[in-house]
Amino acid sequence: MAKKIVSILMLSVIILLSSIILPLSTLAFLPQLTVIEWSIELSNGKVTIYAISSEDDSMSNPDYKLLPYHWYTTAKYYVNPSNKYGFSVSDVVNAIKASAEAWDSQTSAQVFNYMGTTSRSAGRYDGYNVISWGRYRAGVIAVTYIWQVGGRIVETDTRLNTYYKWSLNGEAGKMDVQNIMTHEFGHWCGLDDLYDDKDYWLTMYGYADFGETYKRTLGYGDILGLQAVYGA
Ligand SMILES: [Zn+2]
């Protein structure tokens, strides 16, 4: 009998404690949202173009900058292929998978895992890492949403701005899906934008332009940054 009373007492103490601690801990673990917008080249005056190398020097440029957070597990991502550009589902998925593979092929860690298509939208904290097209303001090509808790990313979404025209093969006057997504996946990996002219040819250079495809392939600094996070 006495034992039973003790254990019932213990139980109520545990319930009481957890009713205090649980709301506190959920508050502490509420993910912080960071929104990384990718501006169209020269649109916000942050860069001067006079010092850009005329030749692609990305394989000898070791520059990179890390974000204060990254994924500690494989980022399982879904693609919403719905678009107004006439792209087939498989062409969209293949372009985005190629973007992820550019990073994954440079580390022994498995950074990304393609899970399938979805009808979900990017930009919502819903437990799914989603890439989709969607509306956004002019001047921003794509936007990556990062939800993190104490430096650990718990969800990442990327929205491609329907304000712009898009292409799967680097057409003039359009944004190339693979080019843009390779850069955005760099943010998923924990890399930040670089705004110096000397970093123009790196994938993590902070501006992009129509018809551009050179960011599909990583430069030396992009790879060094990835490996600083995930190992070689
Ligand atoms: Zn960026």
CB 59: neighbour CB atoms within 10 A?
A: 13
Q: How far is the CA of 119 from the centre of ligand 1 (A)?
A: 25
Chain Cα centroid distance, residue 76: 12
8 and 76 in a single domain? The answer is no
Q: For residue 30, what is the DSSP state?
A: P
39 and 16 together in one domain: no
Reported pTM:
0.84
Residue-range definition of the domain harbouring residue 217: 31-230
Tens-digit pLDDT string for the chain (232 aa): 555 555 555 555 554 555 555 445 444 567 888 888 877 755 455 555 556 788 898 999 999 999 999 999 999 999 999 999 999 999 999 999 999 999 999 999 999 999 999 999 999 999 999 999 999 999 899 999 999 999 999 999 999 999 999 999 999 999 999 999 999 999 999 999 999 889 999 999 999 999 999 999 999 999 999 999 999 9
Q: Are 131 and 79 in contact (CB under 8 A)?
A: yes
CA of 146 to the centre of ligand 1 (A): 12
What is the whole-number distance in angstroms between the Cα of residue 7 and the centre of ligand 1? Answer: 56
For residue 186, the CA-to-ligand 1 centroid distance in Å is 8
CATH number assigned to the domain comprising residue 99: 3.40.390.10
Cα 189 to ligand 1 centre (Å): 12
Number of domains making up the chain: 2
- Do 22 and 35 have their domain in common? no
pLDDT value for 12: 55
Phi and psi, residue 56, nearest 5°: -65, 105
33-53 per-residue burial string, b: 16 or more CB within 10 A, e: under 16: ebebbbbbbeeeeebeeeeee
Considering the domain architecture, whether residues 64 and 9 belong to the same structural domain is answered as no
Q: Answer yes or no: do 208 and 108 share one domain.
A: yes
